[in-house]
Amino acid sequence: MANFSFILGIIGNVISILMFAAPIKTFKRIMKKKSTEDFKGIPYITTLLSTCLWTFYGLLKPGGLLVVTVNGSGAILHIIYVTLFLIYAPEPLKIQSMKLVAIIDIAFLGAVIAITLVAVHGTTRLTLVGFLCAALNIGMYAAPLAATVPNGIGFILGAAQLILYFMYYKSSPTKSTEEKGSAHLMKREIQMKDVNGAHENENSRNLHKWKSLPKPSLVRQYSEKLVKTLSNTPSSLGSHNVHDIEKGLKEAH
């Protein structure tokens, strides 16, 4: 059984190393074009953290030679990948990737190693590092599922809309109800037009009545003219004004 387990471990290590070597073709293309194009550095940075943690776990675990060899090889390959990515990445992406490397692969990894070596002892140390490595691997494998989350939410909401439609579609207004509503609206519009027409006719009659009022009589006009003339000073009166006054009185009679 021990030999069978060791053989399975060797096969697993070979497969894992081939998986770690898969990006070699990608980085050959990057080196040839001297550009990272649309490639992102996050997968290589996080895989570097994972392989380093698993290597640390293999060093803590008795008989963990196979764990150390496969993950140590993966860590070396990903150090090369991350270095090449930082060399050929454009300036903004390079700065962002360097910050991630400093936070994830240096600060976080260093903190985990320091805490487990100083503050944790015995089997608890191995268990803690093992749980951390397993959680990191699960997160890495589950990360692509984030792309399916919006579609899944859209499917759920769309299904809910269809269910609500089939539940309440019978309570939607019928054709006769819609026709009654349209007739009621037309009746209201006709009533409004009649009211507006009545107001317009009333205003027209008032205007015509005002225009038909009798104008001031000639006697009143010439009386006002006489009063205005008599209010003038004696020096301003002349024969011409007296003649106008007499003429006006005759016309008034």
DSSP string computed for 207-236: HHHHHTSPPPPHHHHHHHHHHHHHTS-GGG
Residues 119/81, Cβ–Cβ less than 8 Å: no
pTM given for the model? 0.58
Please tell me the distance from the alpha carbon of residue 27 to that of residue 46, in angstroms, as a whole number: 17
Residues 53/1, Cβ–Cβ less than 8 Å: no
Please tell me the distance from the alpha carbon of residue 135 to that of residue 129, in angstroms, as a whole number: 10
**pLDDT in single tens digits along all 253 residues of the chain:** 557 777 887 888 888 888 889 899 999 999 999 998 888 889 899 999 999 999 999 999 988 888 999 999 999 999 999 999 999 999 999 999 999 999 999 999 999 999 999 988 888 899 999 999 999 888 877 766 655 565 556 667 777 777 777 777 665 544 445 555 556 566 666 666 665 665 555 656 655 554 554 544 444 554 555 445 545 444 444 444 445 555 554 554 4
